[in-house]
Amino acid sequence: MQKLHNYIENINRLFVTGNAREHSYRGDLQDLLNKIIDDKDIVVTNEPARIVNVGAPDYSITKKDIPIGYIEAKDINKPLNSKDYTEQFDRYKNALDNLIITDYMDFWFYKSGELTNKIKIAKIEDNKIVAVEENFLLFINNIKSFTTQISQTITSPSKLAKMMAGKARLLQNVIERAIISEDESDANNSLREQLEVFKATLIHDITPESFADIYAQTIAYGMFAARLHDDTMNTFSRQEAVFLIPKSNPFLRGLFNYVSGAECDDRIIWIIDSLAEIFLATDIKKLLDGFSQKSGMNDPIIHFYETFLSEYNPALRKSRGVWYTPQAVVNFIVRACDEVLKDEFDLSDGLSDETKIKIKVDDINSGYTKSGQKIKKELEVHKVQILDPATGTGTFLAETIKFIKKDFWGGSWSSYVEEHLIPRLNGFELLMASYAMAHLKLDLLLLETGYKPSKEQKRFNIFLTNSLEEHHEQSGNLFASYLANESKEADRVKKDVPVMVVMGNPPYAVSSSNKNEWIQNLIADYKKNLNERKINLDDDYIKFIRYGQHYIEKNGEGILAYISNNSFIDGITHRQMRKSLLECFDKIYILDLHGNAKKKEVSPDGSKDENVFDIMQGVSINIFIKKKQKSKKLADVYHYDLYGKRDFKYEFLSENNLKSVNWNKLVCSEPNFYFISLNLEIDKDYKEGISLTELFHIYSTGFETQRDKASIFFSTEELENTINIFQANESEQIRTILKLEEDGRDWKIEYAKKDIEKGFIATKIQFKPFDFRYIPYTGNSKGIMAYPRQEIAKHILRENIALISPRFFKEDPSIFASKLFTAHKVLSAYDKNFIFPLYLYPDENSLTNERTPNLNLEIVKEIEEKLGLKFVNEKIEDFTTFAPIDILDYIYAVLHSPNYREKYKEFLKIDFPRVPYPKPETFWQLVSLGGKLRSLHLLEDTSLDERIIDIKGEGELLIKNSLNKKDFSVEDEKVELRLNDEVSVVNIPLVAWEFYIGGYQPAQKWLKDRVGRVLNRADMKHYNRIINALCKTDLIMKKIDEVL
């Protein structure tokens, strides 16, 4: 026990000086532990004080260089349960299996993140540290137990995933903090250089956090891959890992050369070593076999990766992680490519074809011709070159291998793989973790098929590169050279390989960071002569279609086969894209899998329609075929609609091929060239109608704040309170008080503060159907509002009325009317709506103050002729004339007709709505019904005050419940909604409760937006009016159908 008394005397001597800090006691604790352990194989290392605190524990305990435990020490006299320590301690507890946390007197022991013991060996009395002798023996025994931990075999995939994730998160945190540190040490600069190389070569806008995340994942999965190839189960280390990673993946081998060598940053070595300790306790082959059998999945590698991601960062899978392409989809596309190669290109062996052709490439060992051109040399290469330009984890390439192996016969499989398969399979991937997974998957798959690699094992042609960019030469540190080699090899494929089949599942990213000049020049072909205000063609999937088209065009023939977002098949801004594809290819097959949750798609019989992925956006399988000699100006297009539940779609894809699908041949005509089935007679009828954009001269999207919390309020009082916060506080205080996210390009707190100082008007606005709010309107862009739409506001903020309509209806077709300034998403959470004011007002310096109709007078003249009535600028009670409001009411009625919406639903999904020219016999009836609807929706109809709902219970009307299904019940077509435990709203007609206007159900949306608020009497009266308006709207819509 004397050693403990000596230890306490030593730390007390330092403590009473008043100058001691946490580091002061470290040597004493190290000495104590070494004396207690008394094992020459076990070393307690007091980690040197870091140049920058990047997050490693203070002590590491190793046995024969293998980590067995860690200790984090904090200063004396500050409680270990202090909130200041919570984040760091949680990080260590989640990552480190064997951990002690101490303040040199209290020792907390953790095993697998769980607290197992707390032992106090000293305490402070009268400003001195004194011993707690009764705990000495317990402490000694626990320390000995702590350092003799026997690693238990890990047999659970979820446990391994959780432990890997903990280490990876710790690694990510250390790397990120080192990069953003202001310290200029060699180690920090090395990591920064690697980030800059990565930024220049692969992802230009990558943040330190994202880079650290990618790096950590890659190391974790690199170690996983190495252990999977390890036949010596009793040993494993990061040094051993480099020799276990297959030669088919030179980049990962190179990275692990760095990780295992002297150049590796010592701040991450201990984490990688602790990862090795985890894998040492794991038989990964056995674990994956069990995982495959238990989960019923035929790709345990990928599904384990999903398990890992769910532990490491659940949001990552959604943002850019693994969207596992269903096997039925992949198999259908692979079989389709094989079928087309056989039938359209007379290649009887299809995807397994061994035919070679001769091509000319630059001879890097020769000079230039007299004309300055590089001297070429002739190469013999395979004709059927396959490329997945967004290969992810290699699913499509793996399926191609399986498909070829299934029918392979008459030769050596290993020879075929090295001579005729690996040289033809090409893949590009941007993310290191996915890239590592793809190599791992193909390596294991080939071994499973019986492939025995030769001594000179060929690398897989899966490269870490940005598909959408040309090659960037790099130089610099070792990491840079590894990336440069990858880029160089990828460039060879991009430049010289005659790709005949492009297949895959390209990424969906609306706001793509891939904006380099090369791909922008290619995508420009899809934007020619569009004359659109906003061209939404920057989604990555569109760039990848154009990219694949480029390869097939360059080769002169081939197949482009993707599953992708299906918005391009009928989007109005995609018409030039469709034309370009029609002009390039000879045949196009569109298997529309639908499943668009945003459009609330259902099967034609009304049953549920599901997506084949866990995403909102509908998808389609697209097969584009180009022959050497194009037979006609535009391609033949074949289309098929596949609706239904997910399993039904999988079954359909598994049981059918390109020949067996009952395709509908389309007539793709100017100007839109739609890739969907349309009734041509209805098409002609619809196009003869009046478009809102043709009728109204001026229109615009609604205003957009970009920070609703700071700009939109339920009352003027709340508005004033927030303005006071802006005026009384600095930027970061405002951000904290209002819980605002980080500043963006067009909304910054400083901009908002300065804008408010210039003055504002508290303005009532239309936020959602029947939902009115208040904004501090200044009219200035990039102020308290990002886009105040001054050009339209100057008209609608005066006496006026406007139609509100989206450009196209992804959800239920809807239109609305308002006399108020209108937000940009009144009718849908997904699509912006446009405002069409009925009147325009002159500028302030104009000689007249008279408003004029915002109408195309040529169209108005045609209406005059068809109706035999005279048009007047302002409404008069005379049935020999009609006014702008009559036109608006007529449009309002037509677009509220259920029959009209159903008949033209395909067209209403595509562009701004059209209405037929009015007929004399029905015009005034529709005007009357449209006017009644307008009055209801503006809440001006006095009949709306009739009481229809009731309150049950006593107490304040606090909306405490979340208002989901468990909070309401239905009986006799009436809804009872429980606001809280004491109070309910009753007698809500079911028709009103379920009624949709656009993407919203106003009877539900209005209340859900007020969860946590207390409603008053005025609120309930307003809600009663909403319910009345919805019920009456339903009745009038039915009457419109009778007239129309």
List, for residues 83-116, the tens digit of each pLDDT value: 889 888 988 888 888 899 999 999 999 987 889 8
Residues 580 and 650 in one domain: yes
Given the structure tokens 């005397």, which residue do they identify?
9
* Claim to verify: residue 673 and residue 735 sit in the same structural domain: no
Characterize the bridge pairing of strands 833-837 and 700-701: antiparallel
* Whole-angstrom distance, CA of residue 510 vs CA of residue 806: 19
Distances (CA, A) of 1030 to 450, 934, 950: 67, 12, 17
**Enclosing H/E stretch for 162:** helix 157-180
896 and 982 housed in the same domain? no
Give the pLDDT score at 294.
Answer: 52
- Domain final residue, candidates 318, 346, 374: 318
Q: How many domains does the chain have?
A: 5
> Quick one: tokens of 22?
């946490």
DSSP one-letter string for 476-533: SSHHHHHHHHHHHHHHHHHHH--EEEEEE-----SS-S---HHHHHHHGGGSTT---S
**CA nearest 261: which of 14, 482, 442?**
482
Are 162 and 141 in a shared domain? Answer: no
Q: Are residues 646 and 726 in the same domain?
A: no
Tell me the DSSP string of 90-140: HHHHHH-SEEEEESSSEEEEEETTEEEEEEE-EEEETTEEEE-GGGHHHHH
Q: Are 131 and 242 part of one and the same domain?
A: no
Residue ranges of the chain with per-residue pLDDT less than 70: 48-55, 149-152, 183-188, 262-263, 291-299, 315-323, 470-480, 509-515, 531-536, 631, 680, 810-811
How many Å apart are CA 801 and CA 892, to the nearest integer? 12
DSSP 645: -
Q: Which helix (H) or strand (E) holds 219?
A: helix 208-228
Domain membership of residue 754 (yes or no) is yes
* Domain at 105, CATH number: 3.90.1570
Cα–Cα distance, 978 to 214 (Å, whole number): 47
Residues in contact with 750: Cβ distance below 8 Å, sequence separation at least 6, in sequence order:
731
Region of 444 (left: φ > 0; alpha: ψ -120 to 50; beta: rest) is alpha
73, 179: one domain: no
Q: Which of 526, 523, 530 is nearest to 547 (CA)?
A: 523
Sequence-separated (6 or more) residues with CB below 8 Å from residue 296: none
**DSSP three-state, residue 160:** helix
Burial letters 428-449, b for 16+ CB under 10 A, else e: bbbbbbbbbbbbbbbbbbbeeb
Greatest Cα pair distance, the chain, in angstroms, is 113
Question: Is 936 a member of any domain?
Answer: no
CB atoms within 10 A of CB 602: 12
Q: Look at residue 342 and tell me if it is in a domain.
A: no
Rounded Cα–Cα distance for residues 810 and 536 (Å): 15
Evaluate whether residue 340 is within a structural domain: no
Q: Are 762 and 842 found together in one domain?
A: yes
Q: How far apart are CA 159 and CA 163, in angstroms?
A: 6
The verdict on 753 and 643 lying in the same domain is no
Cβ atoms 472, 484 nearer than 8 A: no
Pair 155, 287: CB distance under 8 Å: yes
What's the token pair of residue 275?
A: 């990862």
Residue the block writes with tokens 């009836």: 925
Kindly state whether residue 351 falls inside one of the protein's structural domains. Answer: no
The token pair that represents 402 in the structure block: 């399986």
- Rounded CA separation 381/376 (Å): 15
46 shares its domain with 65 = yes
- Provide the 10 A C-beta neighbour count for residue 242: 20
Q: Would you say residue 842 lies in a domain?
A: yes
Residue pair 694/859 in contact by the 8 Å Cβ criterion: yes
Residues 1020, 491: Cα–Cα separation, whole Å:
66
Q: Are 651 and 773 within one domain? A: no
Residue 284 backbone class (left: φ over 0; alpha: ψ -120 to 50; beta: rest):
alpha
pLDDT at 317: 55
Residue 328 lies in a domain: no
The three-state secondary structure class of 974 is strand
Angstrom distance (rounded) from CA 64 to CA 976: 70
Is residue 650 included in any domain, yes or no?
Answer: yes
Residues 740, 841, single domain; the answer is: yes
Structural domain that includes position 251: 157-318
pLDDT reported for residue 291: 61
Q: Which residues contact 562 (CB under 8 A, 6 or more apart)?
A: 333, 502, 503, 504, 505, 506, 541, 544, 545, 548, 621, 622
CB 769 within 8 A of CB 992: no
Please give the single-letter amino acid code of residue 560.
Answer: L
